[in-house]
Amino acid sequence: MRNSLVIIGAGGHGRVVHDAAVASDWNVIGFLDDTKEIGYKVNGVPIIGGISVIKQSSFLPESDFVIALGDQLSRRNISSQVLELGRRLAIVAHPSCIISPYAKIGNGTVLVGGCIVNANASIGSFCILNTASTIDHDGILASGVQISPGVNLAGWVYCGEDAYIGTGAAILPNVRIGARAIVGAGSVVIRDVPDDAIVAGNPARRLRPSPTRPKSQRI
């Protein structure tokens, strides 16, 4: 069995991360979640505290952590806190994923069931590769990128920090998706997307700029 693991966030994504962690032999000892009572069990795993307990140096000093929050900014902030506190962020990859031995995966990144990461792709820290998504050869994901279920990135695609790709989207080869950009569900992206833009449709066109991430739960 691998090391003990604490999952931060016990919502829908947290339960998915728990499944992936158990299947890949992590010893999941609990969730941290500010919205649920200590002792309450989520799929058999107890809530063992709120998120702020990570600041206590005596709190499970040997455990790894993974941030299971879909919200991009929260995931980035809490991942940064964990690292600043000298704690380890785990890579959790469901065993059904196919990951090239020539691909790189950053700490804190989660790969849910059925993902494929092909040769020489580089995935940054605390990204989410959701169910059955594919990153083809030489793709680059900066930190915090979220790839929704069923997304396909062709070869040499680049996604900037905290970019969000909605479910079922397809990105053509060599396309560059800007930092914090949002690609709508089902879109076909044929040209570069600027930082902070929201694009959708086939071919994907700009809906409007998003200086702050609006309606964050909607994505």
Ligand X SMILES: CC(C)(COP(=O)(O)OP(=O)(O)OC[C@H]1O[C@@H](n2cnc3c(N)ncnc32)[C@H](O)[C@@H]1OP(=O)(O)O)[C@@H](O)C(=O)NCCC(=O)NCCS
**Pair of tokens at residue 129:** 């590769």
Q: Least separation, in Å, of the C-beta of 115 and ligand X?
A: 13
Residue 78 CA: distances (Å) to CA of 14, 84, 102, 177, 216: 14, 10, 29, 24, 17
Q: Least separation, in Å, of the C-beta of 168 and ligand X?
A: 7
Tell me which stretch binds ligand X (CB under 6 A): 41-49, 54-62, 101-109, 211-219.
211-219
**Pair of tokens at residue 80:** 């940064």
137 flagged as catalytic: yes
Show contacts with ligand X in window 190-209 (CB under 6 A): 198, 200-201, 207
**Are the CB atoms for 115 and 94 separated by under 8 Å?**
yes
**Exposed / middle / buried, residue 74 (Cβ in 10 Å: 0-12, 13-18, 19+):** middle
Among 166, 176, 196, 197, binds ligand X (CB under 6 A): 166
- The CA distance from 30 to 8, in Å, is 9
Q: Does 185 bind ligand X (CB under 6 A)?
A: yes
Q: Does 152 bind ligand X (CB under 6 A)?
A: no
Q: Which residues bind ligand X (CB under 6 A)?
A: 130, 148-149, 166-167, 182, 184-187, 198, 200-201, 207, 215, 218-219
Task: Report, as residue numbers or ranges, the catalytic residues.
Answer: 137
